[in-house]
Structure 1
Amino acid sequence: MKLTPLQKRAARLERNKSEVDVNLVSLIDIFTILLFFLLSSATGVETLSSPKAVKLPQSTAETSPRETVVVVVSHDDILVSGRRVATVAEAMATEGDLIASLKAELEGLPGAAPEQPPAQSKSVTIMGDKDIPYRLLRKVMYTAARANFSDVSFAVIRKYEAS
């Protein structure tokens, strides 16, 4: 009996038919890369972006930064959340420790309303240049306290000790 080309092809396919093998090596590679990426990107370490004009001091701080209002104090300006509120010269020239423009800006932030219950502490992170005078830093801290920011943190560069 002579088979047609179509029948020959069908017979050959039937003869060579086997169970479908799934190559798991490539799937394992993909899942390993995906797992490595997820673990490395979800380590829970937060960093604050530091302006180039501010050189932060080094410290052996153990706590990680959290999201708060950021006050940047450079050699020239005082910024709140990236917006300039005063110059360092103006702040140093003011009588007393209160910087009025900084206090007004901090009080005008969303979530910084004075009618908040006192049990809920408001946090501020001061990112000050390592060479600013202590007198200026004291004025910024005093002003933040007068604007009802009771939890004050300082941004530093983590210095790792050789053990």
Structure 2
Amino acid sequence: MRHESRRMKRMARSHKRKKTSGMNLTSLMDVFTILVFFLLTNTSSNEALEPPKIITLPDSVVETKPRETVTLMVTAEEILVEANSVVATSEVLESEEVIIEAIKQAMIAELDKAIGVAQVQAQGEGGRDESEQGAEPPEVNILADRGIPFSLLKKVMSSCTDAGYTKVSLAVIQKASQG
């Protein structure tokens, strides 16, 4: 027994000599740094549509975000489908036609993409297949400058619906809702 007490005293003395260092926070700080970096990179990509600098979108208090679909841009100089120039804006304004054939053909060329996006979104939201719900209608998002005359927008929208796009959305800048 006496032997154990000497041993215990020796262990106690050596234990007192060793100073225990504080908690190592380096790993914790690394985790928080990665978390902050992740949050900063993901919050910057929260908009579905990024309008170009030459287009000033109108303001709205709409709550829903636009979905990823075929994008048609109307600028003061030209009309673009998926960033490809289709026709000059002045040419459409001067035309007496309600349906612009160049826009219609460009939209028909993008129809496969629009139907594919609609099906993927329908499966993600409802989990149902096509036989249960029918084919989702193709959708187009129109980004138009707020100074564009409505007669031009009417021709653009008519051309889109004639090409088979039954859902037409106009992109706007979301303002804070009132109340």
Partner of 2:82: 81
Aligned partners of 2:160 and 2:85: how far apart in 1? 16
Aligned partners of 1:112 and 1:34: how far apart in 2? 36
Q: Which residues of 2 match residues 117-156 of structure 1 at below 5 A? A: 119-156=135-172
Aligned partners of 2:59 and 2:114: how far apart in 1? 33
Asked if the contact 2:139/2:167 (under 8 Å) is kept, the reply is: yes
Asked if the contact 1:70/1:80 (under 8 Å) is kept, the reply is: yes
CA-CA distance at 1:110 after TM superposition = 5.6
Give aligned pairs, total.
Answer: 148
CA-CA distance at 1:47 after TM superposition = 3.5
Partner of 2:91: 90
Aligned partners of 1:52 and 1:94: how far apart in 2? 27
Question: Would you say 1:38 and 2:38 are equivalent positions?
Answer: yes
Q: In structure 1, which of residues 151, 159, 163 is the aligned counterpart of residue 175 of structure 2? A: 159
CA-CA distance at 1:139 after TM superposition = 0.7
Aligned partners of 1:94 and 1:87: how far apart in 2? 11
Asked if the contact 1:99/1:143 (under 8 Å) is kept, the reply is: yes
Partner of 1:5: none
Residue-by-residue CA offset, 1:11-62 (whole Å, 9 max, x unaligned): xxxx8xx7x9795411111112222333444457234221222111111121
Q: Which residues of 2 match residues 49-60 of structure 1 at below 5 A? A: 49-60=50-61
1:63–1:74: structure 2 CA closer, same or farther, 3 Å change rule? same
- Matched letter for residue 160 of structure 1: A
- Matched letter for residue 160 of structure 2: A
Q: Percent identity?
A: 32
Q: CA RMSD in A?
A: 3.0
Residue range with higher mean Cα deviation, 96-105 or 39-48:
39-48
CA-CA distance at 1:77 after TM superposition = 0.6
Q: Give the SS at the match of 1:50.
A: coil
More helix per residue = 2
Q: Give the SS at the match of 2:33.
A: helix
Asked if the contact 1:106/1:112 (under 8 Å) is kept, the reply is: no
Q: Give the SS at the match of 1:66.
A: coil
1:22–1:148: structure 2 CA closer, same or farther, 3 Å change rule? farther
Partner of 1:29: 29
- Matched letter for residue 66 of structure 1: R
Alignment TM-score, normalising by the size of structure 1? 0.76
